């Protein structure tokens, strides 16, 4: 990971399930795009309504695309543009994916951050082996 | 493969990825068709282990942040760093010819070391792993990764735990 690991953030106002499903979607090639465009209709809708609030180093590149600069109110969104919008949203969600946790999961997650567990023996051994292997 | 000759480096166009086969078609396809694009678009960073001039294994890292669906106001006040930024080890795969030699562990530790080092310049509070199957889930579990109740294939550990490893 480099220092530019968080290149972009976008508020697509999509629900948790959508955000998490997007992870799977991201791994898909263009082949599955048509089929999943239909499936991800709600996301495309969110993308349009979010008006693409790009807050990133990539914003300059993005702003050159029609998708990023056209307010949704003025657009009759063709399937082509919509396809680009969804693909672009997937890229951004992927590059800085927001994951929403349930109350129970959050509790487990947050508790571990506040009280970080000691690494277990296997992890410690693994670290020793790794240091030997790569020379620290 | 001579262990000493193993090099872990960022995936580049000079790496031959066509021959890579780990037994999980989605992970092979990712390396062959998607990884370069993700790197170009900064969606993910992909690192490969090279042995005998071949890709012996790879992993991908990306950035993410975690938040609670509806945070009670009392708790929200206490969370200075909300939502919580995290690094995601989205994929980790070993070529079939190299499996069973501890290379998965080496790549896991390499990823952990990279994130720990990056955390001196960017905020990262946890490492999340996405296990593709039960075997992978068990693999991470053995190193102490904790699963989310509602998503058992997604496991995590706080960065502080890894910082104690002295990597």
Q: Do A5 and B62 touch (CB under 8 A)?
A: yes
d(CA B134, CA B132): 7
Q: Do A16 and B142 touch (CB under 8 A)?
A: no
pLDDT in tens, A104-124: 888 888 889 889 999 999 999
Catalytic-labelled residue, pool B30, B125, B140, B143: B140
Closest to A86 (Cα-Cα) out of A20, A24, A38: A38
B61, B69, B115: residue with CB nearest A102: B69
Domain ranges of chain A: 16-95, 103-134
DSSP state for residue A64 in the 8-state scheme: T
Q: Do A116 and B161 touch (CB under 8 A)?
A: yes
- Cβ atoms of B62 and B44 within 8 Å: the answer is yes
pLDDT of residue B146: 96
d(CA B25, CA B21): 8
d(CA B94, CA B57): 4
The mean pLDDT of chain A is: 54
**N- to C-terminal Cα separation, chain B:** 24
pLDDT of residue A8: 32
To the nearest 10 degrees (0 to 180), the angle between helices B103-118 and A121-134 is 90
pLDDT of residue B78: 59
Please check whether residue A98 touches B, CB under 8 A.
yes
Closest chain B residue by Cα to residue A20: B151
Instruction: Encode A63-87: b = buried (16+ Cβ within 10 Å), e = exposed.
Output: eeeebbebeeeeeebeeebbbbbbb
Which CATH fold would you assign to the domain B3-163? Answer: Aminopeptidase (3.40.630)
Calculate mean pLDDT across residues A46-65: 36
pLDDT of residue B40: 93
The residues of chain B scoring below 70 in pLDDT are 1-4, 70-82
pLDDT of residue B74: 60
Q: Is B138 exposed, middle or buried (0-12, 13-18, 19+ CB in 10 A)?
A: exposed
pLDDT of residue A18: 32
pLDDT in tens, A60-80: 343 344 344 444 444 555 555
Q: Is A39 exposed, middle or buried (0-12, 13-18, 19+ CB in 10 A)?
A: exposed
- Cβ-Cβ contacts under 8 Å for A6 (sequence gap 6 or more): A95, A96, B63, B85, B122
Domain ranges of chain B: 3-163
| Percentage of chain A exceeding pLDDT 70 | 28
Place of tokens 């000493």: B4
pLDDT of residue A55: 31
B92 by DSSP, 3-state: which?
Answer: strand
- Cβ atoms of B11 and B58 within 8 Å: the answer is yes
Calculate mean pLDDT across residues A42-62: 36
Q: Look at residue A26 and tell me whether its pLDDT is greater than 70.
A: no
Q: Look at residue A34 and tell me whether its pLDDT is greater than 50.
A: no
d(CA B86, CA B64): 5
pLDDT of residue B77: 58
Q: A13: phi > 0 → left, psi -120 to 50 → alpha, else beta; which?
A: left
pLDDT of residue A103: 80
- Cβ-Cβ contacts under 8 Å for B21 (sequence gap 6 or more): B28, B95, B96
Q: Look at residue A1 and tell me whether its pLDDT is greater than 80.
A: no
Residue of B37, B62, B124 to mutate, testing the A interface (most A Cβ within 10 Å of its Cβ): B62
- Cβ atoms of B23 and B94 within 8 Å: the answer is no
Q: Tell whether the torsion through CA atoms of A94, A100, A102 and A108 is positive or negative.
A: positive
d(CA B15, CA B125): 32
d(CA A51, CA A68): 8
pLDDT of residue A4: 33
pLDDT of residue A84: 62
């Amino acid at each position: 990971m480099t220092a530019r690991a968080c290149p972009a953030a976008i508020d697509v106002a999509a629900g948790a399930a959508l955000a998490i499903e997007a992870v799977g979607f991201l791994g898909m090639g263009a082949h599955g795009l048509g089929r999943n465009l239909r499936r991800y209709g709600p996301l495309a809708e969110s993308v349009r309504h979010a008006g693409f609030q790009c807050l990133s180093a990539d914003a300059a590149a993005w702003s050159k695309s029609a998708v990023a600069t056209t307010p949704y109110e003025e657009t009759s969104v063709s399937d082509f543009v919509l396809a680009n919008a969804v693909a672009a949203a997937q890229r951004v969600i992927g590059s800085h994916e927001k994951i929403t946790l349930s109350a129970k999961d959050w509790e487990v997650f947050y508790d571990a951050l506040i009280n970080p567990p000691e690494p277990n023996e296997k992890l410690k051994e693994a670290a020793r082996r790794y240091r030997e292997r790569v020379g620290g | 493969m001579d262990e000493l000759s193993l090099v872990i480096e960022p995936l580049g166009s000079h790496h031959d990825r066509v021959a890579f086969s780990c037994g999980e078609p989605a992970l092979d396809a990712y390396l062959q068709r998607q990884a370069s694009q993700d790197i170009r678009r900064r969606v993910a960073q992909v690192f490969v282990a090279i042995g005998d001039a071949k890709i012996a294994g790879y992993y991908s890292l990306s950035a993410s942040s975690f938040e609670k669906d509806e945070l009670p106001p009392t708790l929200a006040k206490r969370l200075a760093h909300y939502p919580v930024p995290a690094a995601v080890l989205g994929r980790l795969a070993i070529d079939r010819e190299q499996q069973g030699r501890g290379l998965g562990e080496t790549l896991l530790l390499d990823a952990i070391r990279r994130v720990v080092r990056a955390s001196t310049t960017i905020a990262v509070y946890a490492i999340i792993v996405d296990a593709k199957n039960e075997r992978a889930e068990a693999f991470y579990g053995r190193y102490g990764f904790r699963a989310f109740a509602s998503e058992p294939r997604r496991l995590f550990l706080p960065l502080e735990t890894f910082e104690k490893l002295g990597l």
